[in-house]
Every structure is written in C-alpha cells, then in structure tokens.
Amino acid sequence: MAFLGFEGVELEEAPQEAVPKCPACKAELHVIWTKSWGVALFAKDRLLICPHCRSILGFTAIRS
Ligand SMILES: [Zn+2]
C-alpha cells in the first residue's frame, strides 16, 4: 500500500469474524459509541468511544 509508505508493513483486510478490542480496557468492541457535532449534512466531527470504559478510541472528521 503506497499511501502508508512504511517499509516492511503490509495491510491486509481483517477477517469478517475479527472483533476489535479496546486498547484501554481490552473489552471486545461489538459496539462503538460515537459522539458527533457539526452542521448537519455538511460537516460532522465524530469521537469514537469505548462503551465499556468510555475511553476515546479515535476521532474522525467527515467533510462533504
Ligand atoms: Zn474500553
């Protein structure tokens, strides 16, 4: 994958049955909470939150 540009790192699609784990509490994340704000339909910033320990897992900014 050229866009990553890390030598020796290969990206592979995760198996369908693979469930991600929270890096903080290690719980399996069958559900991820989101908290979003922004002007509806134009911009939506979104926090991804673990529903078990409420750690912030990530942040996305969607612009359309
Ligand atoms: Zn957690």
The whole model's pTM is what? 0.70
Neighbours of 55 (CB within 10 A): 13
Structure token pair of residue 15: 């198996």
3 C-alpha to center of ligand 1: Å? 29
On the question of pLDDT at 2 being above 70, the answer is no
20 close to 52: Cβ distance less than 8 angstroms: no
On the question of pLDDT at 1 being above 50, the answer is no
pLDDT score at 43: 61
47 C-alpha to center of ligand 1: Å? 14
34 C-alpha to center of ligand 1: Å? 13
pLDDT digits (tens, 9 = 90+) for 14-64: 999 999 999 999 999 999 999 887 666 666 788 999 999 999 999 988 765
